[in-house]
Amino acid sequence: MTTCVVLLRGVNVGGNNRVAMADLRALLDDVGCRNVQTYLQSGNAVVVAKPTGLARRVEAALQRELGLDVRVMVRTASELADVVAANPFPQRVATPKLLHVAFYDRQPEASVIDEVGADHGNDQLVLGDRVLYLSYAGTSHDSPLVAALRRIGGVSTARNWTTVTKLLTLAQPS
């Protein structure tokens, strides 16, 4: 059993894929997770579980129990610590809403990242281990990175730096 971070893609956004955090906690408990803690209302949880196959088990339970077709990314606490340590934009930590991490279900192809490019106006992306680090000059909603991320493809879910670091804090032993 390992401490893991569970990230649901696209829940409670604009009234779509509604999941109450109490329901998510119960669902995670039902699939064998222990010490379940949720963070915010956007599908973030820290659990103790067997990480192998956890994403698939949670996806199946979301479909079965709540009728939701939602993708799930899982990272161990150690993997999340590595993501935080590898941040290529340390200058953005002071403005955490301008620094996001897109967590992918598999490693994005480096050749596709090279083709898309790192610089998009004043915004940038950097490839990490099953993540893209996204640095925004302004808001993420009107960024040229949005089109770039579509070209990269794959299944991902993004969190701002505040959420990433809070999840890491919750995942580390007291």
Which of helix, strand or coil describes residue 46? Answer: strand
- Interhelix angle 54-66/21-30, nearest 10 degrees: 120
The model's pLDDT over 109-122, given as tens digits with 9 standing for 90+, comes to 999 999 999 999 99
Q: What is the 3-state secondary structure (H, E, C) of 94-159?
A: CCHHHEEEEEECCCCCHHHHHHHCCEECCEEEEECCCEEEEECCCCCCCCCHHHHHHHHCCCEEEE
6-19 burial, b at 16+ Cβ within 10 Å, e below that, comes to bbbbebbeeeebeb
The pTM (predicted TM-score) of the whole model is 0.94
Tokens 């505040």 identify what position? 162
Asked whether the predicted pLDDT for residue 125 surpasses 90, the reply is yes
What letter does residue 34 receive in the DSSP assignment? E
Q: For all residues of the chain together, what is the average pLDDT?
A: 93
